[in-house]
């Protein structure tokens, strides 16, 4: 490169370091006088004489009365008035590459088992813009997720974004583990946001297993970490998925859960003075959700197929976060507690769930069989009380008679063992065979 070509780069370099001083700490927030910075910039707060050993990472989240408002990535217990604040002039960046596959990292991209990062990794910013909508190729190809009820009745396409809505303890993590182990995607990126510390290792060893971990990168931000770390956990997982998508791969991104991301953003919003709106959520919550969720999907190079879990309070599917997420994504799967109590796993209520791209990627024979199964199941559910108490007499309705005959086989088809793998083509053929056999009889 010629010297003249380097001049624009040199002119953009700031030769000065910018410093400030901590003035006060209020709750989760740190107020400092200086340094010169922008919202989203990373700053370093020095809490002792030895800078390198006592450096706390923080991010600029706002300004008030010429004071810089910072939120730390760790606890604020060591910060005192007068601590020096150094501005970096850049946003948070992480190291990513194929060397991370099989590792479990924190929101800053560092392995949580205290091992060293492998060499040869690229540096990418955590927060990026979603792809240009005019440069998103349409979804036209199915992806095998290895779960029979999804592949056959709620078919997912490469680059589709789906929400998994459920209350606590209905099988979200188990379903994500099944998808991670069985999918034909090139690589899995799993974001565990706001999880209990006990459940992290349990998910990795039990639900994900060695087979799933060998083709996955797991990003963990536990519930005891500051709100900013939980939000960065979601952004870091998405940035890693984007890196591999831009390498031309088909990526499977799984995030558990979007609700905890929203709660973390609410904490930050309330701390910096945002007014609470719907059920206490601040306006910034409903701004960050589409920005996060729209980053996945297709682009000109590869695809990110995304599954986002949404933890609904009291099984209320219309609470604010669930309603906002459902309006952004390309489909929603409802996990039903009643089905789980009956021992049907995965407990997906197919009558309340939908894949918005299935009609565009499934063949006619497949779609007709799926519609017939839904119709049969719906008819049975509407008459279930009458059937169970013996008030319905056979022969009163051909549709109900047909649904009663098919019901046991339908339920058997919908059930799948946690470690049972079901290939997409086999699942679709089984669905078509089940419904056409009933028509012939």
Cα 106 to Cα 236: distance, rounded to the nearest angstrom: 9
Residue 224 near residue 193 (C-beta atoms within 8 A): no
What is residue 227's three-state secondary structure? helix
Eight-class DSSP state of 157: B
Residue 408 near residue 438 (C-beta atoms within 8 A): no
Tokens of 354: 């939908």
pTM for the model stands at: 0.91
Spell out the residues 6+ positions from residue 326 whose beta carbon is closer than 8 angstroms to its own: 163, 165, 310, 332
Cα 69 to Cα 60: distance, rounded to the nearest angstrom: 6
Residue 127 near residue 56 (C-beta atoms within 8 A): no
Cα 147 to Cα 335: distance, rounded to the nearest angstrom: 14
Cα 272 to Cα 247: distance, rounded to the nearest angstrom: 38
Cα 411 to Cα 432: distance, rounded to the nearest angstrom: 15
- The CATH topology of domain 94-359 is Rossmann fold (3.40.50)
Residue 174 near residue 207 (C-beta atoms within 8 A): yes
Q: Which helix (H) or strand (E) holds 246?
A: none
For 18-91, give the CATH class: mainly beta
Q: Where in the chain is the domain with CATH 1.20.1270.330?
A: 365-437
What pLDDT is recorded for position 79?
85
CATH of domain 365-437: 1.20.1270.330
Spell out the residues 6+ positions from residue 162 whose beta carbon is closer than 8 angstroms to its own: 156, 306, 307, 308, 329, 330, 331, 332, 333, 355
Cα 73 to Cα 126: distance, rounded to the nearest angstrom: 14
Q: Where in the chain is the domain with CATH 3.40.50.12240?
A: 94-359
**Percent helix / strand / coil, the chain, rounded to 5:** 40, 25, 35
CA distances from 360 to 142, 165, 331 (A): 10, 23, 13
Q: Please report how the helices 398-414 and 364-382 are oriented relative to each other, as an axis angle in degrees rounded to 10.
A: 110
Q: 194 φ, ψ to 5°? A: 75, 20
Residue 142 near residue 158 (C-beta atoms within 8 A): yes
Give one word for 238, left, alpha or beta, with left for phi > 0 and alpha for psi -120 to 50.
alpha
Per-10-residue mean pLDDT for the chain, 441 residues long?
54 70 88 90 81 78 89 84 89 94 94 88 93 93 95 96 90 91 94 89 89 94 92 96 96 94 92 86 94 95 96 78 93 93 92 95 95 94 84 84 92 93 94 80 50
Q: Where in the chain is the domain with CATH 2.40.10.170?
A: 18-91
Cα 386 to Cα 392: distance, rounded to the nearest angstrom: 5
What pLDDT is recorded for position 12?
56
């Amino acid at each position: 490169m010629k010297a003249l070509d380097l001049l624009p780069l040199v002119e953009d370099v700031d030769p000065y370091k910018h410093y400030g001083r901590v003035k006060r700490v209020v709750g989760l927030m740190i107020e400092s006088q200086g340094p010169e910075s922008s919202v989203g910039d990373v700053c370093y707060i020095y809490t002792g004489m030895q800078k390198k050993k006592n450096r706390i990472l923080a991010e600029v989240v706002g300004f008030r009365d010429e004071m810089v408002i910072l939120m730390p990535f760790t606890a604020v217990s060591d910060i005192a008035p007068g601590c020096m604040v150094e501005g970096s002039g850049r946003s948070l960046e992480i190291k990513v590459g194929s060397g991370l596959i099989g590792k479990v990292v924190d929101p800053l991209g560092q392995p949580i088992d205290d091992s060293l990062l492998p060499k040869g990794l690229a540096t990418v910013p955590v927060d990026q813009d979603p792809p240009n909508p005019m440069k998103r190729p349409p979804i036209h190809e199915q992806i095998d997720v290895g779960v029979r009820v999804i592949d056959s009745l709620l078919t997912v396409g490469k680059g589709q974004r789906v929400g998994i809505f459920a209350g606590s303890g209905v099988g979200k993590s188990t379903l994500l583990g099944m998808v991670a182990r069985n999918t034909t995607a090139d690589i899995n990126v799993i974001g565990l946001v706001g999880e209990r510390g006990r459940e992290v290792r349990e998910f990795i060893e039990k639900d994900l297993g060695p087979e799933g971990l060998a083709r996955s990168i797991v990003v963990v931000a536990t519930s005891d970490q500051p709100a900013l770390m939980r939000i960065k956990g979601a952004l870091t997982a998405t940035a890693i998925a984007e890196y591999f998508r831009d390498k031309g791969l088909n990526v499977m991104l799984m995030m558990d859960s979007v609700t905890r991301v929203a709660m973390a953003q609410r904490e930050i919003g309330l701390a910096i003075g945002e007014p609470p709106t719907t059920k206490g959520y601040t306006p910034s919550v409903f701004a960050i959700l589409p920005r996060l969720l729209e980053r996945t999907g297709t682009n000109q190079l590869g695809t990110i197929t995304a599954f986002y879990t949404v933890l609904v309070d009291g099984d209320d599917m219309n609470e604010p976060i669930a309603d906002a997420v459902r309006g952004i994504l390309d489909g929603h799967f409802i996990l039903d507690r009643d089905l789980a109590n009956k021992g049907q796993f995965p407990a997906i209520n197919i009558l309340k769930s939908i894949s918005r791209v299935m009609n565009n990627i499934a063949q006619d024979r497949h779609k007709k069989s799926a519609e017939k199964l839904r119709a049969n199941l719906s008819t049975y559910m509407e008459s279930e009380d009458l059937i169970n108490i013996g008030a319905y007499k056979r022969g009163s309705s051909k549709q109900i008679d047909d649904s009663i005959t098919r019901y046991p086989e339908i339920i058997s088809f919908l059930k799948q063992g946690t470690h049972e793998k079901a290939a997409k083509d086999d699942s679709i053929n089984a669905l078509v065979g089940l419904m056409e056999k009933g028509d012939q009889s």
